[in-house]
Amino acid sequence: MTDAEIREYLTGKNDGELFATADRVRREVFNTDVYLRGIIEFSNHCKQDCLYCGLRRNNRSIVRYRLCMDEILECAGDIARSGISTIVLQTGEDPFYSDAAIADIISAIKSRIDIAITLSLGEREKGSYKLWRDAGADRYLIRLESFNEKSYSQARPGTNRQERLNCLETLRDLDYEVGSGIMIGLPGDSIDDVITAIRKLTVMHLHMIGMGPFVAHNQTPFAGESNGNVDMVLRAYALMRILNPMANIPSTSAMESARPGGRMRGLQVGANVIMPSFTPKRVKELYNIYPGKNVQQDIDEDGLQSVLTMIEKAGYNVSWARGDSPLKANEKCKM
Q: Which is nearer to ligand SF4, 85 or 220 (CB)?
A: 220
**How far, in Å, are 37, 86, 137 from residue 115 at the CA level?**
10, 6, 10
**What angle in degrees, to the nearest 10, is found between the helix axes of 161-173 and 126-135?**
40
Q: Which is nearer to ligand SF4, 56 or 139 (CB)?
A: 56
Sole binder of ligand SF4 in the list 25, 30, 37, 48 (CB under 6 A): 48
Sole binder of ligand SF4 in the list 46, 88, 135, 198 (CB under 6 A): 46
Q: Which is nearer to ligand SF4, 55 or 307 (CB)?
A: 55
Sole binder of ligand SF4 in the list 10, 39, 53, 198 (CB under 6 A): 53
Q: 155 and 135 in contact (C-beta within 8 Å)?
A: no
Checking DSSP bridges between strand 116-120 and strand 139-141, what pairing results, if any? parallel
CB of 217 to ligand SF4, least distance (A): 10
Q: Which is nearer to ligand SF4, 92 or 276 (CB)?
A: 92
Stretch that binds ligand SF4, among 50-58, 212-220, 231-239, 253-261 (CB under 6 A): 50-58
d(CA 257, CA 269): 18
Sole binder of ligand SF4 in the list 6, 283, 289, 307 (CB under 6 A): 289
Number of residues binding to ligand SF4, judged by CB under 6 A: 10
| Cα dihedral across residues 296, 298, 301, 302: positive or negative | positive
Nearest by Cα to 167 from 112, 224, 102, 121: 121
CB of 32 to ligand SF4, least distance (A): 33
d(CA 276, CA 294): 9
Sole binder of ligand SF4 in the list 122, 181, 210, 280 (CB under 6 A): 122
User: Is there binding between residue 183 and ligand SF4 (CB under 6 A)?
Assistant: no
Transcribe 100-115 into DSSP letters.
HHHHHHHHHHHHH---
d(CA 163, CA 257): 30
Binding residues for ligand SF4 restricted to 75-94, rule: CB under 6 A: 92-93
Phi, psi of 33 (to 5 degrees): -70, 140
**How far, in Å, are 75, 102, 220 from residue 70 at the CA level?**
9, 13, 32
CB of 120 to ligand SF4, least distance (A): 9
Sole binder of ligand SF4 in the list 10, 22, 36, 55 (CB under 6 A): 55
User: Which residues contact ligand SF4 by CB under 6 A?
Assistant: 46, 48, 50, 53, 55-56, 92-93, 122, 289
